[in-house]
A and B are shown apart, each in its own frame.
Chain A
Amino acid sequence: MDTILKWCSDVLSNPTWFYLLTTIAKLVLVFAVILAFVVLSVWIERRVAGWIQDRPGPNRAGLPLFLFRRFGSKEEQPLKKLLLYLGCPPDGLIARLCRWLRLDREVPTFGLMQPCLDGGKLFLKQEITPSYVRKLYFILAPMLVLGPPLVSAAVIPFASWVQTPFGEINMCVANLNIGPLWVFAVSGLSVYGLTLAGWSSNSKYPFLGGLRATAQLISYEVAMGLSVIPLLMMFGTLNLQEIVQSQAQNGWTLLPFWGEGLSVQRWILCVPMLISFIMFATCIFAEANRTPFDMAECETDLVGGYHTEYSSMKFASFFMGEYAAMVIGSALVVTLFLGGWSIGFGIDEALASYNEWLAVLCQLVIFLFKLLAFIFFFVWVRWTLPRFRWDQVMKLCWLVFVELAVLNIALTAVIMYFIH
């Protein structure tokens, strides 16, 4: 045992091995979290859609208790036994509440099983590749859509850092000095997937969908890049970990309630920040190809858009790619504007001085909560706003956002000139 421990510490003391092992651990964590959030956001989408449209949504898929014969037939349900054991009357308030939650029929999962069953269904469906497609690009396209969002997650910090006896672990897979640009560049590459899917399908509607996706994504990338410049001017760095760190010390970009954020100058700067937040969030909606901007797969005029000819797991890759892009977009908005992993009000530093691992854990949980909240906002917008018309989408980008972003940069520059 001692030899094993000694061997472990020997391996970890080597800086190369330490770096390699921690990076692999972080990679696995980030990958798992993103895939879990893709599944979770599908579920949130359906439940919130049901809620907004005043219907239950998928709440039935669960683990029915009658599968487990050994628990007894319907008359002798485990719930009834449990209630009797606890001394609750079978028609009292608690029993009625349990029945309303359907606890008497199934293990409560609130429909969380639905995305898993969907995945199974898509996996088992017949894979149809039409005879008239361009095979290589037809197969390549779904990969090019799903890959980039997963890669671009590498630069997003999900907690602060910890000091271990072997060295510092920065809770960010790749702490690059070009953080947001990396996300823009890599997630911008997913446009190849959409375009190639449309073209290689060799059929009319997918082709139109692919063309629309190309035009829309390129246009909104310009507006997105311009809209974050005021924020980068304020922080003076492109490193996402440093941006979040300064937000933890001096107040979140939009809510500077503590530290140096409580000054008049900082609150004046909130005006351009708010403008850039609204623009950036809208561009993220457009980049993730979601309603009200889902021109490329608008079923009323394009059947299914670029993925009309796809079936089974290839279709599921497009689907997952879209949700992964949504998760990464939300993570970027949270990181840039809503404080990333920071808990706020100076709690981070207090926790870190108490126990660094505890602080990191709390920050991770807070980050995931913020992410969930923003994903909820994403879904809320989708089921509330109607879809725009094609020319409206392009006009909004080129005639409103680009100009507004340039003006916003000038405004920020003027404010910063007079402050300093």
Chain B
Amino acid sequence: MNPAISALLFYLFALAALVSAIGVIVLRNPVSSALSLALCFGFVAAIFFNMGAAFLGITQIIVYAGAILVLFLFIIMMLDVKSEDHTSGLLRHSVVGVLVAGMLAGMISSAALRLPGAVGGSCPWHAFTESLCSELCPAAASTDPSASELQASISAPAPYGGALPTLDPAKRGADAKLLGQNLFSHYNLTLVILGFALLAGCVGAVSVGRRLRRD
């Protein structure tokens, strides 16, 4: 895709995602909040699609918008949650919220600034000030063929997975295969640990949810 259009679409989708994310907090009705979150997931998926990572985008929709959020909605409706009371403990809540959000933002931005594309002063911020063109900052997950050479020439620090694999422009669109190969070779240990964490969550949920029979 034309890099300029691609960048334009990115800012459009990102803006829409941010607006719907704000809607999650601002809207009083819990069901409206949940639906706004679904919209946000949809726009994030659109950003993935725009980067050429169609598999990631569709997984985002299937897993988050199609399953997890529907369960949220299910619970909200079952419990019949009324509009929340926003007055009590406002200061304490906001202080804790800002702290947690700040920690998360710091973590994400420190990771983002050390990604291969951001090395050498070509971080997204610089790219934005210099031009709207995305050639300077190839996203780490992008399968855009024009980005592949740049990705190969830069090696990331070891904690971030080292050098990225070189992409064959002819294989554009085979991102499911690429993702699978990386997950099951490069990041296999991480994947297994994550799997165990999820399993622990499942076991915990079952043990909480299961009603023991007395008879």
By a CB distance below 8 angstroms, the chain B residues around A199 are 31, 77
The answer to whether the Cβ of A214 comes within 8 Å of any Cβ in the partner chain is yes
Q: Using A181-B55, A210-B77 as known contacts, say yes or no to A192 and B38 having CB atoms under 8 A apart.
A: yes
Contacting B58 at CB < 8 Å: which of A178, A191, A198, A211?
A178
Docked complex Cα distance between A304 and B61 (Å)? 30
Across the two chains, which residue of chain A brings its CB closest to B174? A177
Cβ distance B184 to chain A, nearest Cβ, rounded Å: 13
The answer to whether the Cβ of A137 comes within 8 Å of any Cβ in the partner chain is yes
By a CB distance below 8 angstroms, the chain B residues around A181 are 55, 58-59, 62
The answer to whether the Cβ of B74 comes within 8 Å of any Cβ in the partner chain is yes
Across the two chains, which residue of chain B brings its CB closest to A238? B176
Cβ distance B38 to chain A, nearest Cβ, rounded Å: 7
Q: Which of B63-71, B109-117, B150-158 contacts A (4 or more CB under 8 A)?
A: B63-71
By a CB distance below 8 angstroms, the chain A residues around B65 are 185, 189
Main secondary structure of the interface of B (DSSP, over half): helix
Q: Using A178-B54, A195-B77 as known contacts, say yes or no to A185 and B71 having CB atoms under 8 A apart.
A: no
Category for how many chain B residues contact A? 20 to 34
**Residue contact A185 to B61, C-beta cutoff 8 Å:** yes
**Residue contact A185 to B66, C-beta cutoff 8 Å:** yes
The answer to whether the Cβ of B195 comes within 8 Å of any Cβ in the partner chain is no
Q: Using A137-B31, A177-B173, A191-B66 as known contacts, say yes or no to A214 and B74 having CB atoms under 8 A apart.
A: yes
Cβ distance A145 to chain B, nearest Cβ, rounded Å: 14
**Residue contact B77 to A191, C-beta cutoff 8 Å:** no
The answer to whether the Cβ of A267 comes within 8 Å of any Cβ in the partner chain is no
The answer to whether the Cβ of B205 comes within 8 Å of any Cβ in the partner chain is no
Cβ distance A317 to chain B, nearest Cβ, rounded Å: 19
Q: Using A177-B54, A185-B58 as known contacts, say yes or no to A211 and B74 having CB atoms under 8 A apart.
A: yes
The answer to whether the Cβ of B78 comes within 8 Å of any Cβ in the partner chain is yes
Docked complex Cα distance between A181 and B62 (Å)? 8
**Residue contact B54 to A189, C-beta cutoff 8 Å:** no
Contacting B67 at CB < 8 Å: which of A177, A195, A218?
A218
The interface bits of chain A over 158-177 (1 if a CB of B lies within 8 angstroms of the residue's CB, else 0) are 00000000000000000011
**Residue contact B77 to A189, C-beta cutoff 8 Å:** no
Docked complex Cα distance between A189 and B41 (Å)? 12
By a CB distance below 8 angstroms, the chain B residues around A186 are 61
The answer to whether the Cβ of B163 comes within 8 Å of any Cβ in the partner chain is no
The interface bits of chain A over 186-223 (1 if a CB of B lies within 8 angstroms of the residue's CB, else 0) are 10110110011011000000010011001101100110
Contacting A189 at CB < 8 Å: which of B59, B66, B176?
B66
The answer to whether the Cβ of B73 comes within 8 Å of any Cβ in the partner chain is yes
**Residue contact A221 to B58, C-beta cutoff 8 Å:** no
Docked complex Cα distance between A177 and B174 (Å)? 7
By a CB distance below 8 angstroms, the chain A residues around B58 are 178, 181-182, 185
Docked complex Cα distance between A186 and B174 (Å)? 21
By a CB distance below 8 angstroms, the chain A residues around B66 are 184-185, 188-189, 191, 218, 221
Cβ distance B172 to chain A, nearest Cβ, rounded Å: 9
Across the two chains, which residue of chain B brings its CB closest to A137? B31
Cβ distance A143 to chain B, nearest Cβ, rounded Å: 13
By a CB distance below 8 angstroms, the chain B residues around A218 are 66-67, 70-71
Docked complex Cα distance between A197 and B59 (Å)? 26
The answer to whether the Cβ of B175 comes within 8 Å of any Cβ in the partner chain is yes
By a CB distance below 8 angstroms, the chain B residues around A177 are 54-55, 173-176
Across the two chains, which residue of chain A brings its CB closest to B172? A177
Docked complex Cα distance between A215 and B74 (Å)? 8
Contacting B70 at CB < 8 Å: which of A178, A185, A195, A198?
A195
Docked complex Cα distance between A208 and B31 (Å)? 17
Across the two chains, which residue of chain A brings its CB closest to B66? A188
By a CB distance below 8 angstroms, the chain A residues around B67 are 188, 218, 221-222
Docked complex Cα distance between A244 and B6 (Å)? 31
By a CB distance below 8 angstroms, the chain A residues around B77 are 195, 198-199, 207, 210-211
* B contact residues vs A (CB 8 Å cutoff): 31, 35, 38, 54-55, 58-59, 61-62, 65-67, 70-71, 73-74, 77-78, 173-176
26 pairs, CB–CB < 8 Å, chain A vs chain B: A178-B55, A181-B55, A181-B58, A181-B62, A184-B62, A185-B58, A185-B61, A185-B66, A186-B61, A189-B61, A189-B66, A195-B77, A196-B31, A199-B31, A207-B77, A210-B77, A211-B74, A214-B70, A214-B74, A217-B70, A218-B66, A218-B70, A221-B66, A221-B67, A225-B62, A238-B176
Knowing that A185-B62, A185-B66, A214-B71 touch, tell me 19 more A-B residue pairs with CB under 8 angstroms: A177-B55, A177-B174, A178-B54, A178-B58, A181-B55, A186-B61, A189-B61, A189-B66, A191-B66, A192-B35, A192-B73, A195-B70, A195-B73, A195-B74, A207-B77, A211-B77, A214-B70, A221-B67, A238-B55
